[in-house]
Structure formats: C-alpha cells, structure tokens
Amino acid sequence: MQSLLRKTPFYLKERYVDHAGYMRQALAEAEKAYALGEVPIGAVVVLDGEIIGRGHNLREVLKDSTAHAEILALREAAGKIGDWRLNGATLYSTIEPCPMCAGALVQFRVKTLVYGAADPKAGAVDSVIDVVRQPRFNHQVEVVAGVLEEECRQIIQRFFQALRGKKADGEMAELVEGARLEIE
C-alpha cells in the first residue's frame, strides 16, 4: 500500500482513500457494541486522513434512543475539532444509516458517507428513503455504498442469530429486548 502511494503522483495522493481500512475500524466499533449486547453497528469519522470520532451503539446501555453509533461518532468528532460543522469529513458506518442518523449527516455538514451493508427495513440513504441527497436541503452528502458489505452484514446476522437462539431457549437478554434491525 505504501509503495503504491510513493509511486502515485502528488496530485492524486489526496484522492486516494482507504475505504476498506476505515471500514475495518468501524467494524471494530461494531464488535464493541456486540460485546455489550447492543445491535452491532459501528462508525468512525475521518477528516484529513485522521480518525476524529468513533462510536458504537449504546442505546440500551445508556437508555438513550439517540445513542446510535453514527451520532456518537459525529458528536465526538465535533468536540475534537471544536465545531459542529464537519466540512470535508467522511463518516464510515457498518450499516446504512437510519432517518435520524442520515439527518445528522446533513446537519453536521458531512461531505461523504461510506457504509457497508444496506438496511432494507429502515435505511434512509438508498433503501427506504433518501435523506442525504435532497436537493431542497442546504447540504447534500456524497455516498459510497457496499464497502466490506459482507463483513458488515455478517456481524448483524451473527447478532440476530444469537438473539433468536436466546429467545428459543427462553433466555432473552434485557440489553437487546428492543432490538428490531435485521439484515436478511
């Protein structure tokens, strides 16, 4: 990878982005959520090649319906740079954002969204509705979909298979009682 960058002309280096590498960081955040019994979604915010925000679902742990991975990563990033405007930033999410998180991308002025797996039941970018590219809004977000899609889908499937197993055994965990997201 580094040898490729050394051979790349200077005017193209700024355009080269390791989407898979950053998505692996988001997947690491999703694993943290999984370990807590949360729906395993992870997100990172990248600005100028540096991760400035990380988040994983904490909705059940914090008893906060807004504690989605994307929201937490955006809040951390804004705190780190001291501005709510994340101009030029890219958010990586293991799953297509819900309406709330997609709206937050617009509000935080995120330049690009990169997501792994689509969410056919609640996705607010490509699947159900498109919140981030509304021409009437004062900001639109560029979208790259399907990065490490299979890995992102697998962690969600693994979580819900385990959850169904607990239901079958009558051992429903309190932390995941309200979980509804499923990727077929």
- What are the residue numbers of the active site? 70
- The CA-CA-CA angle for residues 72, 76, 78, to 5°, reads 115
Query: What b/e sequence results for 36-73 when a residue is b if at least 16 CB atoms lie within 10 Å of its CB, and e otherwise?
Result: ebbbbbbbbbbbeeebbbbbbbbbbeeeeeebbbbbbb
* Residue 42 phi, psi (nearest 5): -130, 155
Using CA atoms, how far apart are residues 102 and 41, in angstroms rounded to an integer? 14
* DSSP 8-state symbol, 176: G
Residue type, 179: A
The residue whose two tokens read 């890219």 is: 90
> Which distant-in-sequence residues (6+ apart) come within 8 Å of 42 by Cβ?
25, 26, 27, 28, 29, 30, 31, 32, 33, 54, 55, 56, 57, 69, 93, 94
